[in-house]
A and B are shown apart, each in its own frame.
Chain A
């Protein structure tokens, strides 16, 4: 049995193991240090035959890499260090500001709804969650005053001017546009039909 597994391992090293057998073998090797050791020796033998006298990784190199990954709890990212060189942090600042502004706008819209029913659970939950962050805003079902409406509209207009063109047409824009509770005072040009 062991010989059979080790022969599979040898074939894996040469890229000659049928795909269907790879999964089980990888899991076996993950559990079995002796199999990993032997695999390392197979690799070393090949390297030694191909390039006599060359530099090789010292014993335990692979274990150190594994420990480095485990110790640092390193996860996989989706950006490519080859294709994407290090980007300065400057771009993150406006992006973060836009994200905060969008979040604040959404919270404000959820909280300030002229036709909101106080019994609707999401409104109550939102009020509780946002209460600490926006203590001055009215919560519950109370209708906003015209001054509050005006202020909210002004905020949305300003936000729209600074948000990216892509962001202006996202799913939240559609949701806001469809919400009859949003009073878009002062947004459109009053002279246009």
Chain B
């Protein structure tokens, strides 16, 4: 049996700026908010799970992509991880943060995929089998194409450009929140304004970014 490859750090901390992501710091509002959504899913509010997927989809896809070292498979594996998480959510007690629990499921799912890949014989046939054709079509459908990569870069440029064009108070608020990961209270202290103003500024910054991105994503 072949040894499992060494995985990079689970939290994706190879990039320094991600370490201060701040999205879900222990005991943070996001962690509490996640728990609130989890409790709602456990009580049967299926829509709350959709919000958790929306919140963590990029992080999980990115994590899985790093683990597999193959972005083309990342979305399928991430999708499987989310479905597993939904099925197992009844057992989630909140002893750890939801995202930690979710990441563990994603890591295990990626490991299973790696193990299955090692067992799979290599195919050298020029023609694709029906199954392989399906996989290729699935990847194309899921956006793992050169066009998708271009779109990702374009999104990044558009977001940055939109942020650059924001009035200074909105730009400062969104950067302190999204990049520095400060809470509203911390931002309010830093910007010397009420928490309600911070909330409004961050919202307006996001709306401006949304308006810039809309033509690209529609």
| Residue positions of A touching B, CB distance < 8 A | 3, 6-7, 10-17, 19, 22-23, 26-27, 29-30, 36, 38-62, 64-66, 68-69, 72, 74-83
Contact = CB atoms under 8 A, between A and B. Distances in A.
Contacts of B59: 47
B47 A15 contact: no
Contact of B36 (A7, A13, A19): A19
A51 B31 CA distance: 21
B135 interface: no
A7 B199 contact: yes
B193 interface: no
B217 A59 contact: yes
Q: Is the interface of A mostly helix, strand, loop or mixed?
A: helix
Contact of B148 (A3, A14, A58, A68): A58
A32 B106 CA distance: 29
Interface in B181-204: 183-184, 199-200, 202-203
Contacts of A38: 210
A77 B160 contact: no
Interface stretch (B1-9, B21-29, B121-129): B21-29
A94 to B, nearest CB: 24
Given A12-B51, A36-B51, 19 more contacts: A15-B24, A26-B47, A44-B213, A48-B156, A50-B179, A51-B18, A51-B62, A53-B156, A54-B15, A55-B61, A56-B62, A57-B75, A58-B142, A59-B217, A65-B53, A66-B50, A66-B53, A77-B88, A81-B84
Interface in B118-169: 142-144, 148, 152-153, 155-156, 159-160, 163
A140 B48 CA distance: 54
Size range of the interface on B?
35 or more
A78 B90 CA distance: 5
Nearest to A75: B87
B11 interface: no
A67 to B, nearest CB: 10
A75 B91 CA distance: 12
A102 to B, nearest CB: 26
Contacts, number: 206
Contacts of A74: 83, 86-87
A140 to B, nearest CB: 45
Contacts of B87: 74-77, 81
A76 B88 contact: yes
Nearest to B80: A68
Nearest to B76: A64
A117 to B, nearest CB: 44
Contacts of A10: 199, 202-203, 206
A56 B61 contact: yes
B104 A13 contact: no
Contacts of A50: 17-18, 21, 178-179
B57 A81 contact: no
18 contacts: A3-B203, A15-B34, A16-B183, A26-B51, A27-B47, A39-B51, A43-B57, A43-B58, A48-B155, A50-B179, A52-B156, A57-B61, A64-B142, A66-B50, A76-B88, A81-B84, A81-B88, A81-B105
A46 B18 CA distance: 11
B84 to A, nearest CB: 5
Contacts of A77: 87-88, 90-91
